[in-house]
Amino acid sequence: MDLVIRNASLPDGRRGIDIAVEGERIAAVGPVLAVTGRREIDAAGDLVTPPFVDAHFHMDATLSYGLPRVNESGTLLEGIALWGELKPQLAQEALVERAMRYCDWAVARGLLAIRTHVDICDERLLAVEALLEVRRRVARYIDLQLVAFPQDGLLRSPGAFENLKRAIRMGVDVVGGIPHFERTMAQGAESVRLLCEYAAEQGLRVDMHCDETDDPLSRHIETLAHETWRLGLQGRVAGSHLTSMHSMDNYYVSKLLPLMRESGVAAIANPLINITLQGRADTYPKRRGMTRVPELLAAGVDVAFGHDCVMDPWYGLGSGDMLEVAHMGLHVAQMTGQAAMRQCFMAITDTPARILGLEGYGLAPGCYADFVLLAAGDPVEAIRLRAARRAVVRRGAIVAEAAPARSTLRLPGRPDAVDFRMAR
């Protein structure tokens, strides 16, 4: 074997497991495998997980914090104004450079698949060209999926639908949208219908910014679910953000959840950004603004967590760590039960992998040898510690390594170091 990991714990709770890798694929998984590897790593009981997957990101804006100036108020509206100021100044090479730098961070964090929205409301489609170039450059180590995103509205922004179709012809993978940003509810619904019909015709997946507002009457997710069902797009459509669901009437939601499940629409919440930007106009009580994650899961709807932003006009924090995203999601949704905490881990691994349609993802024989060895004993400890990535493996090769967190102490009568670990 080319690589063997010894004595690993797996996210499903199995312990004492060896993983054997031959070439780019996992050859065997089981207790005490009778094989030898050209390289062997002793996991010492630590967790091996398939790579982290970010279902929702904006790579055209990332690491632009401070350009052309910082967001002083930290609000969504100043963020949108800032992006408007920055857009005409964007240069392709600088955008590629920032995105490549973020991809370096992502690999170091074990984040090996990212779905990024790319703004197509720019005649030049400069960001599209830049991110297609980035997709080519990082293909060996990151699965980068691009969504054609009409940031200024499909019907509201002149030429947006044509630009979106051009972007798809250039190689963008997924059809995006932003129905709540159209001028009327009717136009929002019309944009959903047009985009879903186009996606069905082209055989593409759909992922819309949908109802990213505190307005309980923003109900475009209903149209998105219905169009998905009508056009036979089950399993290929996601609604991103869905924050209006937080504020909706409970009876209405009791009808909406089964519709979403039956239509096979997935939900993507973005906890760090939703908790930051939503409910801003409230006094007290102040709404939390994240979609109804536990209720969606209980109804059988796939829910993933996305990072959305890192160091951009909307959000001046983040470092590509999906464990930080899960940590925030777990808190905002009050998902502190044992099973619920594990669901939060799935929301940054298996579930987004399914939403993106990643092939060969997982820890079974035959899957790609893509995985992360964490300095944690189980998924809950990984989230608690935002655990160090001891080793990040892509297609059988180690692409990043980090030392586990450890602090030395100088205290009389106490241990000489702590590593914050409990689950061993």
Q: 142-157 burial by CB neighbour count: b if 16+ within 10 A, else e?
A: bbbbbbbbbbbbbbbb
CA dihedral of residues 316, 321, 322, 324 (deg, nearest 10):
-70
Strand ranges for 110-215 from DSSP E: 111-119, 143-149, 174-175, 205-210
Q: Which is nearer to Fe ion, 117 or 389 (CB)?
A: 117
- Site size with Fe ion, rule: CB under 5 A: 1
Q: Using an 8 Å Cβ cutoff, are 258 and 222 in contact? A: no
List the strands of the sheet with 397-401, edge to edge: 48-49, 371-374, 389-394, 397-401
Considering the complex, what minimum distance in angstroms separates the CB of residue 37 from Fe ion? 41
Considering the complex, what minimum distance in angstroms separates the CB of residue 117 from Fe ion? 6
Q: Which residues on adjacent β-strands are paired with residue 144?
A: 114
Q: How many CB atoms lie within 10 A of CB 66?
A: 13
Q: What are phi and psi of 154, to 5 degrees?
A: -70, -45
Considering the complex, what minimum distance in angstroms separates the CB of residue 262 from Fe ion? 26
Binding mask 253-292 for Fe ion (x = CB under 5 A): ----------------------------------------
What is the DSSP secondary structure assignment for residue 403, as one 8-state letter?
P
Q: 264-297 burial by CB neighbour count: b if 16+ within 10 A, else e?
A: bbbbbbbbbbbbbbbbeeeeeeeebbbbbbebbb
Q: Which is nearer to Fe ion, 117 or 384 (CB)?
A: 117
Catalytic residue ranges:
212
Considering the complex, what minimum distance in angstroms separates the CB of residue 278 from Fe ion? 12
Q: Which is nearer to Fe ion, 322 or 372 (CB)?
A: 322
Considering the complex, what minimum distance in angstroms separates the CB of residue 13 from Fe ion? 33
Question: What is the C-alpha to C-alpha distance for residues 309 and 304, in angstroms, rounded to an integer?
Answer: 15
Within 305-364, the residues that bind Fe ion by CB under 5 A are: 308
| CA distances, 210 to each of 268, 289, 303, 315 (Å) | 10, 13, 14, 19
Q: Which residue number places its CB atom closest to Fe ion? A: 308
Residue numbers at the binding site for Fe ion (CB under 5 A): 308
